[in-house]
Structure 1
């Protein structure tokens, strides 16, 4: 199994290096560990889902409007 740095993973996943570091600190990247002051991440690690994104509310535009009959 090979390992990558936070910088390499950031480029691979198209996110910032700092974001990768935060994910590591939160324990959200399986197998990642800190060696001295550098995060070491397994090459085959999966990108965790982004919890910061909110789910969209359903679109209510299909509901009939009150008083539109007639």
Structure 2
């Protein structure tokens, strides 16, 4: 299996390197493995859906 670095994946998916690190830490990228202090991401990994709140309005269910 071929793996990509965080930088290569960030360029491929057009998002920041830090966002890739967060996705890996949250186990949102299937097959990503941590080697020492860096991540290896499978070349065929699918970009996860962005589930962050973008509207600026955060509503709590009370």
Q: TM-score, normalised by structure 2?
A: 0.83
- The number of equivalent residue pairs is 55
Consecutive unaligned residues in structure 2, runs of 5 or more: 56-62
Structure (1 or 2) with the larger CA radius of gyration: 1
TM-score by length of 1: 0.74
Bigger relative contact order (CA 8 A; separation at least 6): 2
C-alpha distance after superposition, 1:16-68 (max 9, x if no partner): 0000000000000000011011100000000000001558xxxxxxxxxxxxx
In 2: Cα distance, 1:20 partner to 1:53 partner: 17
Unaligned runs of 5+ in 1: 56-70
